[in-house]
Amino acid sequence: MRKPPVICIVIPCYNEQEVLPVTSGLFTAELDELVGSGRADPASHVLLVNDGSRDRTWEIIEGLSEQDPRFRGMSLSRNRGHQNALLAGLMECRHSCDCAISIDCDGQDDISAMGEMVDAYLDGCDVVYGVRSSRETDTAFKRATAQGFYRLLGSMGVECVYNHADYRLMAKDALEALSRFGEVNLFLRGMVPLVGFKSTSVYYERHERMAGQSHYPLSKMVALAVDGITSLSVRPIRLIAWTGLVVALASLVAIVWVLVRHAMGATVTGWASTTAAVCFMGGVQMLSLGVIGEYVGKVYMETKRRPRWIISKRTWESRDDN
């Protein structure tokens, strides 16, 4: 059995002025509960990462950290998106905690599931995935698209835990290992299983957002799916190669047919089939170029090695070596 860990709850926040005052107290209440039951060290804290919000989110974070030193705030110099903000928080806190729990700030993920996550950590697990047991509060559309999303990822060779978003516990060792992944195209759900270590899942019900609005419309979900697949798998390029092979074999048959027709003196007919074949091949080639282009773009961004985030402010003194 491990000793009660210093926990850091890492929460990315983007334009969350409505929801933060409602949910912030729930996180410290959960810490009180964990410390009270002897499962967490009293030095446990909450790290709020302001992802370049344009509203009063940062002022609220500063206010919280003045009232209660368990709240720490750091601000990114501009909006970098959920995945970057979350990783910035995880990399920042790994020096000052034994394990980090990442969660969204809108109260959709059941905060009380942290108890079970910490129990699993105390039993020796280094990575604990929070998995949604039901999606009853989501619309039928969101449920269907989310299911399609996981299916597509799986079929493209991206290993990720079904119905797990970014609510998870990671022990210090796993965080250190994650810090060695230098890619700029981030898809944490697919990267964490690659980190390995002993892992398990805990199940919880997903609620409605407590206030404010979702920042993940369908367009961003599609972008996340494309990023997830192209940054973790080359299967789409391989599929293009296979498609090319199948089309080449099929066209061999067509060539034989054309020669036979020619020998029979019937070469004028067949305009429709020719046009259809040209259009079809044009479409396949454009699509294939697009997929390859997506990878070329990824390579381009990776070779630049730009910083994935820049921290502009902190509400506490910290080591700055990530």
By beta-carbon proximity to Mg ion, the closer residue of 59 and 208 is: 208
Q: How far is the CB of 60 from ligand UDP (least distance, A)?
A: 12
Helix, coil or strand: residue 309: coil
Q: Could you tell me the two tokens for 41?
A: 């060290």
**Binds Mg ion by CB under 5 A, chosen from 30, 106, 116, 166:** 106
**Residues of this chain that bind ligand UDP (CB under 6 A):** 12-14, 16, 51, 79, 81-82, 85, 104-106, 108, 214-216
By beta-carbon proximity to ligand UDP, the closer residue of 13 and 178 is: 13
By beta-carbon proximity to Mg ion, the closer residue of 183 and 208 is: 208
Helix, coil or strand: residue 23: helix
Interface positions, 107-136, toward Mg ion (CB under 5 A)? 108
3-class SS string, 152-197:
HHHHCCCCCCCCEEEEEEEEHHHHHHHHCCCCCCCCHHHHHHHHCC
Q: How far is the CB of 274 from ligand UDP (least distance, A)?
A: 48
- The answer to whether residues 288 and 240 touch, using CB atoms and an 8 Å cutoff, is yes
By beta-carbon proximity to ligand UDP, the closer residue of 54 and 262 is: 54
Q: How far is the CB of 55 from ligand UDP (least distance, A)?
A: 11
Residue 83 as a binder of Mg ion (CB under 5 A): the answer is no
- The answer to whether residues 112 and 30 touch, using CB atoms and an 8 Å cutoff, is yes
Q: How far is the CB of 152 from ligand UDP (least distance, A)?
A: 17
Residue 98 as a binder of Mg ion (CB under 5 A): the answer is no
Q: How far is the CB of 286 from Mg ion (least distance, A)?
A: 36
Q: How far is the CB of 236 from Mg ion (least distance, A)?
A: 29
Pairing of strands 164-171, 127-134: antiparallel
Annotate 202-254 with DSSP letters as a single string: EEEE----SSS--S--HHHHHHHHHHHHHHH--HHHHHHHHHHHHHHHHHHHH
Element (H, E) at 312: strand 311-314
Of 73, 129, 122, 135, nearest in space to 101 by CA: 129
> Which residues 6+ apart lie within 8 Å of 149 measured at CB?
221, 225
By beta-carbon proximity to ligand UDP, the closer residue of 211 and 247 is: 211
- The answer to whether residues 64 and 27 touch, using CB atoms and an 8 Å cutoff, is no
By beta-carbon proximity to ligand UDP, the closer residue of 106 and 116 is: 106
Pick one of ligand UDP, Mg ion, none as the site partner of residue 12 (Cβ within 5 to 8 A by kind).
Answer: ligand UDP
Q: Which residues pair with 203 in a beta bridge?
A: 131
Residue 230 as a binder of Mg ion (CB under 5 A): the answer is no
Q: How far is the CB of 106 from Mg ion (least distance, A)?
A: 4
Q: How far is the CB of 26 from Mg ion (least distance, A)?
A: 14
By beta-carbon proximity to Mg ion, the closer residue of 68 and 136 is: 136
Of 67, 76, 88, nearest in space to 25 by CA: 67
Rounded CA-CA distance 31/23 in Å is 13
Pick one of Mg ion, ligand UDP, none as the site partner of residue 88 (Cβ within 5 to 8 A by kind).
Answer: none
Residue 166 as a binder of Mg ion (CB under 5 A): the answer is no
By beta-carbon proximity to ligand UDP, the closer residue of 84 and 199 is: 84
Residue 51 as a binder of Mg ion (CB under 5 A): the answer is no
Pick one of ligand UDP, Mg ion, none as the site partner of residue 85 (Cβ within 5 to 8 A by kind).
Answer: ligand UDP
Applying CB under 5 A, what is the total number of residues that bind Mg ion? 3
Interface residues toward Mg ion, by CB under 5 A: 104, 106, 108
